[in-house]
A and B are shown apart, each in its own frame.
Chain A
Amino acid sequence: MCGAKAGGPDASTIKPGETTIQGQVTKDGEPVVGYVRLLDSTGEFTAEVPTSATGQFRFYAAEGTWTLRALVPGASADRTVVAEQGGLAEVAIAV
């Protein structure tokens, strides 16, 4: 979307103290709308969110190693992320 900020949602809107995983899904360098699934370290489904109109997503999670799976029309991509207690893990997903 023209003029949209690159990257994940505005970090100032994160709930204080929450372990946060967020980012943006892009395709050919442009934000793309779809879904992001959060899978635990054994690959089991934990949560899913639709992205915003600018491809952004956010999960509040426990610390640990997670897999993010982005699903958009015609494509999908996985990214591994390590979340630290109370920290912010920012993940860019190009599909």
Chain B
Amino acid sequence: MSRRSEVLVDADWVQDNLDNPAIAIVEVDEDTSAYEKNHIKNAIRIDWTKDLQDPVRRDFVDQEGFEKLLSAKGIANDTLVILYGGNNNWFASYAYWYFKLYGHENVKLLDGGRKKWELDARELVSEVPERTETSYQAKPQNKAIRAFRDDVVAAIGTQNLVDVRSPDEFSGKLLAPAHLPQEQSQRPGHVPTARNIPWSKNANDDGTFKSDDALKELYADEQVDLAKDTIAYCRIGERSALTWFVLHELLGVENVKNYDGSWTEYGSLVGVPIELGANK
């Protein structure tokens, strides 16, 4: 049985639930100012740069910080959170994974995100809703879905490593997607034995996810044995959160981790192996 209805909602469902107080619609965008222009009615915003990152160290906000954030946003432990965003849900997927990391199980993605909503010519508004503050209780991080650098090094040649960046980033021609600043990691390339399966192959033109059968075929064609443990990575862990969502949430594959340090960390480590060149 497909797991889709447990992890995804479509635009019609959101349209029918815009005024439902038991749900929180949350926009998370790479362009954190997109929300200010307009957003889905009654949607609130989470800013991935300010709200989800420790202001000093390179790490996430801690458990207490996540509790404060969700309390202030008016999200309770039993609130159904519907995440959506631009860029084919890159950062909404990242937020989904992040909510799961802190144990919020009642969370779903709007299939197609902001793009599908706009292409359907559905209403967007500028009013910012008020939500009553809560006392949110988070769980300790679920490390079963988060990979760290040593996990990645240990996975070389033994687990599936899925590099979801563009072919030019994978081969070492670029350090970041063509439209983003070319900076941050010291060396280009990819983790040895990684397969390059760009995130975009998971999605249709309108940003919705491909069918389960098409997704299974994609990973089989790319010689990813889903019976093995898998680590997905990209540049900073947001595009790979989308691939994590596809594998772990849509296809129900166990033992899939997202490496949020991703290439900006791995490509700056001293002494680790790096491979150059296209997918073999």
Report if A76-B205 is in contact (Cβ < 8 Å); known contacts: A46-B166, A50-B86: yes
- B118: chain A residues at CB < 8 Å are 33-35, 73
Query: Which residues does chain A contribute within 8 Å of B179, judged by CB atoms?
Result: 47, 49, 59-60
Q: Size band of the A side of the interface? A: 20 to 34
Give the distance in Å from the alpha carbon of A49 to the alpha carbon of B166 in the complex: 16
- A45's nearest neighbour on chain B, judged by CB, is B200
Q: How far is the CB of B120 from chain A (nearest CB, A)?
A: 7
B230 at the interface (CB under 8 A from A): no
Closest partner residue, chain A, to B174 (CB atom) = A62
Q: How far is the CA of A69 from the CA of B205 in the complex (A)?
A: 9
Q: Does B178 contact A (CB under 8 A)?
A: yes
With A45-B198, A45-B200: A59-B205 Cβ-Cβ less than 8 Å: no
Bound: A45/B202 CA distance, A: 11
Decide if A60 touches B178 in the complex (CB within 8 Å): yes
How far is B205's CA from A76's CA once the two chains are assembled, in angstroms? 10
Report Cα–Cα, A33/B198, bound state, in Å. 27
Flag B115-141 by CB within 8 Å of A: 1 or 0 each.
100111100000000000000000000
Chain B contact residues, CB within 8 Å of chain A:
86-88, 115, 118-121, 166-167, 177-179, 198, 200-201, 205-206
Where the two chains meet, the residues of A that have a C-beta atom closer than 8 Å to any C-beta of B are 33-35, 37, 44-50, 59-61, 69, 71-74, 76
